[in-house]
Chains A and B, each alone.
Chain A
C-alpha cells in the first residue's frame, strides 16, 4: 500500500488562537465530525460518572444520597447517554465517514452542518446546566411522564426550572438532529461519486440513510409533545396532559413520546449495526453475506420501528395489546436476518481479531442478549411481570450499552487511523475490550435476575432481605470494572494521536472509498477517485492493481456477480 506522507494536520507555524478559531468556525465535515465525537464522549463521561454514583448507592441497602438527588441522577444519566452521547456520537461518525464513503467532497450543506453541531452543543449544555438552578435538574426520568413532570393537577411534588430547561434543551437537540438528517439525505441522494449506485452504498451509509428518514419523520412528534408539556407546565392555558377536568389525557404524552422514542432506539442501534457490517467483512476478508437482504432488513426495521411504540405501554391499560404484541414480535425477524448474515460473513472467512473486530464480535454476542430479552417483553403477559423492573433495565442496556456503545467503540478503533493517520495501541485496546466485555456482563446479567425477582427500577433503596443485596453488589463491581477499562481507552486515544504507529492510507485492507484517500484525508477529501463498480470499490482496485492472482481461492472462481 502507498505510504502516506507524515500526516501532522498542518498547524505548524499557526498561532494557537488561530487554530481554535479555525475549529470554532469550521464547516469541514471531518472537523465537525470530530467535534461531535469529542463533545459526545465528554458528555458520556459525565453520564457514566452518574451511573457509578447510582451503582454505589445500590451496592447495599440503606441510602447514601437523598431521594431527589438519586432521581436527578437517573434522569440525567438516561438523558445524557441517549440524547448527548449515542445519538450525537453516531452523528459524528456519519459526518466524518459518509461523505468519504460515497466519494463526496463534503456534506451537501456545510454551514447547516456546523449549525447542527452548535445547536447540539448548546442544547446539551442547556440540559446539563440545570444542575445549577434551584430545584436541581429534571428528575422525572428521561421519559418525563406527566403528571410527575407537570406541575398541574394534584402532583404533590411539582418539579422546578430544571424540567423546563430539559424540555427546551431536548427541543433544540431535536432541531439539530432534524437539520442533520436533511443534510445526510441530501448528501447521500445528490453527492454520490460516479458509479456509486444505491445498491453499491456501503452499509454504514445505508444505515445513515434509513436513520435520517426516521429522525425526519419522528422528531417533529417529539418536539410537539415537548412544547405541549412546556405549555402545560408554564400556565399558558394548556391542559394537554392534565386529567383534572379540562379534557387532558395523561396517556397522550406516552403515545407521543414513544412515537419518537421507539424509532429513536433504532436511530441509535442502526448506525452501530452499520459499523459492524463494515468491520466484519474487512476482518473476515470476505464480502458482506447477503448485501441486499441486509439493506432490506435495515429498511424493514425502520418501517416496523414506527408501529411498535406502544410496547412501552403494555401495563398502562390504554393499549390495544394484540396489535403491538404482533408488531413487536415481527421486528425480531429482520434483526435475526442481520445476525445470520453477519455470522455467515465470518463463516469460511479469514478472521483476524484486532480490537475493532473484537468490539464488533462483542456487539454480536451481547446485543444478542438484548434482542432475546426483548422477546420476553414482547410476550405481553410476561411483560406484565417484567415491565419497569431491572429486567427491562438490563434489556435496554444490553441493547444500548453493549449494543450501540460497543458498535461505537468498534467504530473508534476502526476509523481512528483514518482520522489521525495513526493506529491505536492494540495492547491497550484489548485491555479495554476485555474489561468492557467482562465488566458489562457482571453489571447487567445480575440485573436480569433482580428483575425476574421483581426489583423495580428507579428506586434508591430496596428490601434488606430477599437476596437482592448480592446481585446488586456484583452489578456495582461490574460498573467499576467497565469504568476502569475507560482509563486505558482514554490514555490510548491521547497517546496514539501523537505517538501511535503510522497507519498509512489503508491499514486494514478495507473495501470502501474512505480508505482510498490519505489518512487523514485532505480538506477536499480526494485528489483522485478510483472507479466504483461494486459495493467494494477498493477491493476491486486492489485486485486490479495486483493482477488476478491476489487470492488463489478467488482467482479460481469466476468473478462473483456483484450486487447492484
Chain B
C-alpha cells in the first residue's frame, strides 16, 4: 500500500514536471548573469531541495494515511491523545532545519550585499525612476573636490572647491554634478567656489565633508525600439537602455523622483526598491564570458506597483565587455562635454544669469528659457538639447505656443501634468523661445 502510494505520487509529480518542462516553464530561476545572482541561485537550490523533500514526504504521508486507514467497520480505533516523544521530535527537527537555513541565508546575504574593498575600481551608474520610465546617469572624474563642508537640507549652497578651473568648460544650469550620491546642478562658477542647486533628480540633500570628490554627471540613457508589449510601438515609446560593463563592479545608485519603483532584472535574480527620500546602493558584478563587442541584452522592468502605467515601465540592460564599454563611455562623455559647453548668448541683449528677464514679451527669453528647461527637469525626458529620448523630440517644435501650453496642462501620452502654479505661462513662453533657437529634429 505504501509502495503503491509512493509510486503513484512520484508518477504524478514526474508527469507534472515533464509537462511543465515540455511547455517551456521554468522550474528554476533563470541562469544568473552576475556573481550576486549566482549566490542567490545557489541558495535557491538549497532551499528547493529541502522544500522538495518536505513537500513530497508530507504529501505522500497524507495520501497514504487516507487510503491505509479508511474506516472499515464500526470498531472505534485506539483513542490516542498524543505522544510526547513524537511531538518533541517534530518540533525540534523543523527548528533545526530552519535555523540551518537561516545561517546559510545569512551568509549568502552578507555576500550579496557586500561592497567591494576600498581601491577596487567601481563603475557608478545612477538610476532614476519616475512615472513611468527610467533615466540612467554616468559619472566622469573631474579633477576637483570640495574644500568646504556642504550642510544637509539647503536648497542652494555656495561651495569652495580645490580646482575651480575644472568647471571652466562647463555651462551653468545645464551641468549636473554628483557629490557622493547627491545630484546637484552647477548654477555659477566663482573664483574659488561654485554655487549649486541641491538634490535635483530625487536625490537627498545630505551633509558632505570637505574633501568630497566632485563628479561630472551626464545622461547615458539610450533607447531601443522593440516589441516587448502588444501595442507598445504604436505609443512610439522606446525602452530606455542602461549600458553596463562586464568584469567591473557596478554600483547602481537608486533614486525615485515621485513614487516607489523597483529596479528588477530577472537575470540578475535581484531587485531593490527606489524609495522617494532615500538613495539605495545595489552592487552587481556581471560575469558572463564570451560576449562579443556588440554585447548582450537583458530585459528588466519596474517591480513595485507605481500607478497607471506600471506595466509599461520597462528597461533593457546592455552589457558590454570592459573595453567596448570604455569606448562607449568615452564617446558618450565626449558628446556630453560638447553639449555642456557654455553657449554664446543666442538672443540679443539677454544676460546669462538666473534672474528673470524684466519683460520677456510675447517672444520669451531664450536664455532664461534654457535655464528653466533644466530647472524644471524637461531635459530628463526630452534630452539636453530637446533632441528627444524617453519623450518626443521637441527642439524647434512646429507647434504654436498655445498648444505647447495646453500640453503642459493636459498632457497627451506619458508626460506628467504641470499646473500653472508650478510652471506659469511666462516660463513656458521662455522655454518655447529657447527651443525655437535649436535645430528641428
Listed in ascending order, the chain A residues whose CB lies under 8 Å from chain B are: 61-63, 67-68, 71, 140-141, 145-148, 153-157, 243-244, 248-251, 284-287, 289-293, 315-318, 321-322, 325-326, 329-330, 332-333, 336-337, 339-341, 343-344, 346-353, 361, 364-365, 368-369, 372-373, 375-376, 378-382, 384-385, 387-389, 445-446, 449, 452-454, 456-464, 466-467, 470-471, 474, 550-554, 557, 560-563
Contacts and interface: CB of A to CB of B under 8 A. Distances in A.
Contacts of A346: 62, 65-66, 69
B307 A157 contact: yes
A563 B47 contact: no
Nearest to A62: B230
B58 A368 contact: yes
B69 A368 contact: no
Contacts of A318: 275, 278
B108 to A, nearest CB: 5
Contact of A389 (B227, B303, B309): B303
B81 A553 contact: no
A346 B73 CA distance: 16
Given A344-B86, A551-B77, A456 B302 contact: yes
A564 to B, nearest CB: 11
B266 A375 contact: no
Nearest to A357: B66
A149 B278 CA distance: 19
Given A318-B278, A385-B44, A557-B79, A348 B69 contact: yes
16 contacts: A145-B305, A155-B259, A156-B416, A289-B81, A325-B105, A330-B98, A381-B39, A384-B271, A385-B269, A452-B30, A461-B229, A461-B230, A462-B311, A470-B24, A474-B23, A557-B79
A147 B259 contact: yes
A375 B43 CA distance: 12
Contacts of A337: 87, 90-91, 94
B262 interface: yes
Contact of B112 (A289, A384, A461, A552): A384
Contacts of A373: 51
A381 B270 CA distance: 8
Interface string B212-243: 00000000000000011111000000000000
Given A155-B259, A290-B87, A365-B62, A381 B25 contact: no
A459 B311 contact: yes
Contacts of A148: 259-260, 305-307
Contacts of A458: 305, 310-311
Contact of A333 (B86, B98, B260, B273): B98
A452 B230 contact: no
A384 B44 CA distance: 11
A404 B82 CA distance: 26
Interface string B265-285: 011011111011110100000
A48 B19 CA distance: 28
Interface in B38-86: 39-40, 43-44, 47-48, 50-51, 54-55, 58-59, 61-62, 65-66, 69-83, 86
Contacts of B264: 388, 454, 456
B271 A388 contact: yes
Given A349-B77, A456-B301, 4 more contacts: A382-B44, A458-B311, A459-B301, A470-B24
B17 to A, nearest CB: 11
B431 interface: no
Contact of A560 (B79, B299, B302): B79
Contacts of B75: 350, 551-553
Given A317-B275, A379-B43, A140 B82 contact: no
B424 interface: no
A465 to B, nearest CB: 8
A179 B278 CA distance: 39
B423 interface: no
B106 interface: yes
B388 to A, nearest CB: 20
Which of B48, B277, B278, B302 has its CB near the most chain A CB atoms (within 10 A)? B277
A463 B266 CA distance: 13
Given A337-B91, A452-B29, A329 B102 contact: yes
A418 to B, nearest CB: 22
A318 B280 CA distance: 9
Nearest to B59: A365
Interface in B279-314: 280, 299, 301-312
Given A293-B87, A340-B90, A376-B47, A351 B69 contact: yes
B322 interface: no
B258 to A, nearest CB: 4
Contacts of A557: 78-79
B72 A350 contact: yes
Contacts of A372: 51, 54-55
A365 to B, nearest CB: 6
B18 interface: no
Contacts of B229: 61, 461-464
Which of A289, A347, A385, A557 has its CB near the most chain B CB atoms (within 10 A)? A385
Interchain residue pairs A-B with the least CB separation, the first 5: A551-B76, A454-B266, A243-B277, A62-B230, A459-B311
A68 B307 CA distance: 8
A375 B47 contact: yes
B7 interface: no
Nearest to B309: A67
Contacts of B26: 449, 452-453, 467
Given A365-B62, A461-B229, A554-B79, A384 B272 contact: yes
A563 B81 contact: yes
Contact of B82 (A289, A343, A459, A466): A289
B56 to A, nearest CB: 11
Nearest to A353: B66
Contacts of A61: 229-230
A317 B256 CA distance: 13
B70 A352 contact: yes
A19 to B, nearest CB: 41
B370 interface: no
Nearest to B102: A329
B271 to A, nearest CB: 5
B23 A156 contact: no
Contacts of B249: none
Contacts of A329: 98-99, 101-102, 105
Given A333-B94, A351-B70, A467-B25, A382 B40 contact: yes
Contacts of B80: 286-287, 289, 344, 348, 560
A153 B260 CA distance: 12
Interface string B90-127: 11001100110110011011001000000000000000
B105 A379 contact: yes
